Amino acid sequence: MSCHREGLDLDVRVPGRLTAALGTGPGEVVAVIGPNGAGKSTLLSAVAGLLPVAGRITVDGRDWNAPPLPVRERGVGLVPQDRSLFPHLSALENVAFGLRARGARPGPARARAQEWLDRLGVGDLGRRRPHELSGGQAQRVALARALVTDPAVLLLDEPFAGLDVGVATSLRIALAEHLASYPGVTLLVTHDALDALTLADRVVVLDGGEVAQTGTPREVAARPRTEHVARLVGLNVVADRDVRRSFPPSAVTVSLTRPEGSARLTWRGRVAGTTPHGDALRLLVVTDAGPELLADVTPAAAVDLGLTAGREVWLTVKATATTTDTMRP
How far is CA 96 from each of CA 137, 181, 184, 255, rounded to the nearest angstrom?
17, 21, 20, 63
d(CA 235, CA 295): 10
Instruction: Report in angstroms how near the CB of residue 74 gets to other proteins at its nearest.
Output: 8
Residues that bind other proteins (CB under 8 A): 48, 50, 70-74, 76-78, 80, 82, 84, 86-89, 97-98, 101-102, 145-146, 149, 151
Assess contact for 61 and 96: CB atoms under 8 A.
no
- In single-letter form, the type of residue at position 63 comes to D
Instruction: Report in angstroms how near the CB of residue 113 gets to other proteins at its nearest.
Output: 12
Instruction: Report in angstroms how near the CB of residue 274 gets to other proteins at its nearest.
Output: 39
Number of Cα atoms under 13 Å in the Cβ half of residue 141:
32
Specify the residue, 151 or 217, whose C-beta has the smaller distance to other proteins: 151
Quick one: which of 51, 149, 138, 45 has its CA closest to 97?
Answer: 149
d(CA 300, CA 72): 61
Specify the residue, 47 or 199, whose C-beta has the smaller distance to other proteins: 47
Using the 8-state DSSP alphabet, how is residue 328 labeled?
P
Q: Please count the residues of the chain.
A: 329
Instruction: Report in angstroms how near the CB of residue 14 gets to other proteins at its nearest.
Output: 17
Who's near 247: CB < 8 A, 6+ residues apart?
A: 235, 236, 317, 321, 322, 323
Instruction: Report in angstroms how near the CB of residue 99 gets to other proteins at its nearest.
Output: 9
Instruction: Report in angstroms how near the CB of residue 267 gets to other proteins at its nearest.
Output: 46
d(CA 19, CA 216): 21
Specify the residue, 86 or 272, whose C-beta has the smaller distance to other proteins: 86
Assess contact for 102 and 94: CB atoms under 8 A.
no
Specify the residue, 89 or 305, whose C-beta has the smaller distance to other proteins: 89
Instruction: Report in angstroms how near the CB of residue 88 gets to other proteins at its nearest.
Output: 4
Specify the residue, 49 or 269, whose C-beta has the smaller distance to other proteins: 49
Instruction: Report in angstroms how near the CB of residue 66 gets to other proteins at its nearest.
Output: 20
Return the percent helix, strand and coil in the chain, to nearest 5.
30, 35, 35
Specify the residue, 98 or 209, whose C-beta has the smaller distance to other proteins: 98
Specify the residue, 119 or 318, whose C-beta has the smaller distance to other proteins: 119
Instruction: Report in angstroms how near the CB of residue 142 gets to other proteins at its nearest.
Output: 9
Crossing angle of helices 91-101 and 106-119, in 10° steps, is: 130
Quick one: which of 258, 257, 315 has its CA closest to 283?
Answer: 315
Specify the residue, 6 or 150, whose C-beta has the smaller distance to other proteins: 150
Assess contact for 188 and 81: CB atoms under 8 A.
no
Specify the residue, 98 or 126, whose C-beta has the smaller distance to other proteins: 98
